[in-house]
Amino acid sequence: MPTFATPAPITVKLDLIAGDVHLTAGDRADTVVTVRPASDREVDVRAAERTRVEYADGTLSVQTPKRRGLLGRISGAAQEGRVQVTVDLPAGSGVRGASALGRMHGEGRLGECRFSTAAGDIELEQTGPLRLDTALGLVSIGSAIGDVEATTAHGHVRIGRIEGSAEIKNLSGPVEIGQITGDLKLTGVNGSLSVDRAYADVTAKTANGSLRIGEVRQGSVSLEATAGSIEVGIREGTSAYLDAHSLIGGVRNALNDADAPAQSDSTVKIVARTHVGTIEVRRSLLGQDS
The CA distance from 68 to 173, in Å, is: 31
The CA distance from 110 to 113, in Å, is: 8
Q: What percent of the chain clears pLDDT 90, i.e. is strictly above it?
A: 86
Whether residue 67 is contained in a domain is answered as yes
Q: End-to-end distance of the chain based on CA atoms, in angstroms?
A: 41
Whether residue 45 is contained in a domain is answered as yes
Query: What total of structural domains would you count in the chain?
Result: 1
Query: What are the pLDDT digits (tens) for 240-279?
Result: 999 999 999 999 999 876 534 555 478 999 999 999 999 9
The answer to whether residues 39 and 87 touch, using CB atoms and an 8 Å cutoff, is no
Instruction: State the average pLDDT for the chain.
Output: 92
The CA distance from 123 to 157, in Å, is: 10
Whether residue 29 is contained in a domain is answered as yes
> How big is the CA angle at 232 (ends 226 and 235), to the nearest 5 degrees?
160
Whether residue 78 is contained in a domain is answered as yes
The whole-model pTM stands at 0.91
Q: If pLDDT is split at 50, 70 and 90, which confidence band does 77 have?
A: low
Whether residue 4 is contained in a domain is answered as yes
Strands 11-26 and 104-109: parallel
pLDDT at 70: 45
Contacts of 228 (CB under 8 A, 6+ apart): 192, 206, 208, 209, 210, 211, 274, 276, 277
Whether residue 84 is contained in a domain is answered as yes
Determine the structural domain holding residue 63 and report its residue range. 1-95
The total number of residues written for the chain in this structure? 290
Query: What are the pLDDT digits (tens) for 107-151?
Result: 999 999 999 999 999 999 999 999 999 999 999 999 999 999 999
Query: What are the pLDDT digits (tens) for 11-58?
Result: 999 999 999 999 999 999 999 999 999 999 999 999 999 999 999 999
Helix or strand holding residue 46 (H, E): helix 42-50
How far, CA to CA in Å, does 57 sit from each of 73, 89, 150? 29, 15, 29
Whether residue 153 is contained in a domain is answered as no
